[in-house]
Structure 1
Amino acid sequence: MLGFRDPVADAIGLLRPRTVIGPSLRATGNWALRFDTFLHVRIGGLVRGTCWLILEGHEPVLLREGDTFMLGNPPPYVLAGSLDARPRPAAPVWAGAEDGLVRIGPESEEDLYLCVGHIGFDEENAALLTDLLPPLVIVRAADPHGTRLAQLIDHLATEVGIAAAGGPLVQNHLAQILLVHMLRAHAGRTDRPAGWLSALNEDGIGAALRAVHADVAHSWSLKELADISHMSRSAFARVFKSHVGVPPLEYLIRWRMNLARDALTRDTMSISELARATGYQSESAFSTAFRRVVGSSPAQFRNQARRQLSSAVSGG
């Protein structure tokens, strides 16, 4: 059985997040660092002090103590102590970190203390999240989610600064918890969050999404899902599409194919087993749906994944 309980947990599970935390930054004086573009998500927050975040194509944003930010597939950006500071490349500065810490300027009780991390995803499924995120999400310390996020950032910064047993494991889990809370904050302030992020809202649409994820092999009908949402079929279809971006049964098909791609990539099930696990009565019906969504047959997709794995193992 393919497993599912909660749309958010399921989607993040498919993303297979890989977390790199730190180094943390402590800085004083007139400084600025330019970070190159990168894939997926960068997340961070201010434990102490203030700094400017300057994202290409956006107005500069002043971050204050307790603020948390998330960057989704961002263009190059700058972190700076002042707007008139001349940026220098961040990579060589980051490479000089010692004991999980980069320091700019003399040590001071008034210096900036910034904790950042990078979360990368499985490339096959990364768009499940990155397509739904704006380049920049900021949660202020005064936001209803702000206190919890600030506490997580503070805890994460502490873990980066100590060489305790299990540190990388703790950092990884804290970063993923931080990601989920940032997504909740983003979804809560967005009138119409797209895709599975809408499941973060406690409404009828969320109930239908949770039902789909709880039993993806079930032959769901529009009426069943509408009943779960306590709506008429027409109202449910309209509201679901406005929130999620696609009709309900199209969402079901796409989610099934996301699960199928993951299983084929990991080579954990035969195609006939996978067809049954994703709600298809025959292998041919499953293959037709898979080709429509993915653009290749399940066998072709699995063979390509095997070749890529073999090449990676052999170093070719």
Structure 2
Amino acid sequence: MVLGFRDPVADAIGLLRPRTVIGPSLRAAGEWALSFDTFPHVRIGGLVRGTCWLILDGHEPVPLREGDTFMLGNPPPYVLASTPDASPRPAERVWAGAEDGFVRIGPESEEHLYLCVGHIAFDDRNAALLTDLLPPLVIVRVGDPHGGRLAQLIDLLATEVGVCAAGGPLVQNHLAQILLVHMLRAHAGRTDRPTGWLGALNEDGIGAALRAVHADLAHSWNLRELAEISHMSRSAFAQAFKSHVGIPPLEYLIQWRMSLARDALARDSLSISELARATGYLSESAFSTAFRRVVGSSPAQFRNRIRQSAHSTAVPVAPGS
């Protein structure tokens, strides 16, 4: 039994069980400003046409231009506005008046801004795998190395929002996840590299070790093997891995195994003995000991708690229905 997708980014996004909501998109004219409350996980968007300002609490106002894309990670309150000094009104009230996937501000004949936005929520049990690595704001300018591709994706996404075609929500969901992956690539590829596994993927030696771990999670990895894959001595590899990822390599391996184990137990897709083998443990007791150390309960207790929670929140079925 194999867990994961053999690629760290695909593994992480698959484990996060992303739920995507696109739109409504914003078309605006004149002076306007909308205030947004905090939102867990990720907001993503881009300017199809026009310019505006993004003002994040505690940060300087940032101009956005046509073709720019942005990603907000667990953002604090923020404002989107035509000018930095425009008086904002709550976006929630404006969004409530959306029609056919659009919110309009000002005369339709004078619209000069077209902003496509959405949000991506993750499974709370593992959301920190990604959100802990993201700054509050990532902007990719249209002229950046990844900018043109991202602008095309935003344009495709905006087109899907604007038409009522068969399979539209499915296409929107996939485009949003593709957009997320390209935003992560752009963020990870910058010289001020992010901490954690996302930035480490761009380091030849450390990245090779990470990919090897994800490709064969059931293997009994040791420090010597991972160092050899990275073409480093054990001490140099251990130091470099911790510097880039934030934790020692074998601790990363355990944490990743337990993240996948939690997900499999929550979905009840494997028995505990199968899960032990799939995550590289020679016995169920060794797996249970590691799981308890990381999660704080035994695998059986964790699975039973999830089952009880699901049962308690299930909608009762009326007799005869």
TM range (shorter): over 0.9
- One-letter identity of the residue aligned with 1:80: A
Structure 1: distance between partners of 2:192 and 2:32: 37
Contact 1:8–1:199 at 8 Å: present in 2 too? no
- Structure 2 residue matching 1:263: 3-state secondary structure: helix
Contact 2:200–2:245 at 8 Å: present in 1 too? no
Contact 1:193–1:244 at 8 Å: present in 2 too? no
Task: Give the match for residue 310 of structure 2.
Answer: 309
Give, in angstroms, the shift of residue 122 of structure 1: 0.5
Aligned: 1:282 with 2:249: no
Structure 2: distance between partners of 1:4 and 1:222: 23
Alignment of 1:95-134 (within 5 A): 95-108=96-109, 111-134=112-135
Q: Which runs of 4+ in 1 moved over 3 A?
A: none
TM-score by length of 1: 0.97
Alignment of 1:42-53 (within 5 A): 42-53=43-54
Task: Give the match for residue 177 of structure 1.
Answer: 178
Task: Give the match for residue 221 of structure 2.
Answer: 220
Give, in angstroms, the shift of residue 84 of structure 1: 2.1
Alignment of 1:1-316 (within 5 A): 1=1, 2-108=3-109, 111-198=112-199, 200-201=201-202, 203-314=204-315
Task: Give the match for residue 319 of structure 2.
Answer: none
Give, in angstroms, the shift of residue 193 of structure 1: 2.5
Size of the aligned set, in residue pairs, is 315
Structure 1: distance between partners of 2:26 and 2:201: 32
Give, in angstroms, the shift of residue 192 of structure 1: 4.2
Structure 2: distance between partners of 1:37 and 1:192: 25
Unaligned runs of 5+ in 1: none
Structure 1: distance between partners of 2:35 and 2:310: 35
Unaligned runs of 5+ in 2: 317-321
Contact 2:36–2:78 at 8 Å: present in 1 too? yes
Q: Percent of pairs identical after alignment?
A: 85
Give, in angstroms, the shift of residue 125 of structure 1: 0.6
Contact 2:187–2:193 at 8 Å: present in 1 too? no
Residues 25 and 200 (structure 1), Cα distance of their counterparts in 2 relative to 1, 3 Å cut: farther
- Structure 1 residue matching 2:133: 3-state secondary structure: coil
Provide Cα deviations, 1:59-95, integer angstroms capped at 9, x if missing partner.
1101011110000011111000012211001011111
- Structure 2 residue matching 1:314: 3-state secondary structure: coil
Give, in angstroms, the shift of residue 221 of structure 1: 1.1
Contact 1:54–1:79 at 8 Å: present in 2 too? yes
RMSD: 1.2
Structure 1: distance between partners of 2:103 and 2:5: 41
Give, in angstroms, the shift of residue 199 of structure 1: 5.0
Residues 16 and 199 (structure 1), Cα distance of their counterparts in 2 relative to 1, 3 Å cut: farther
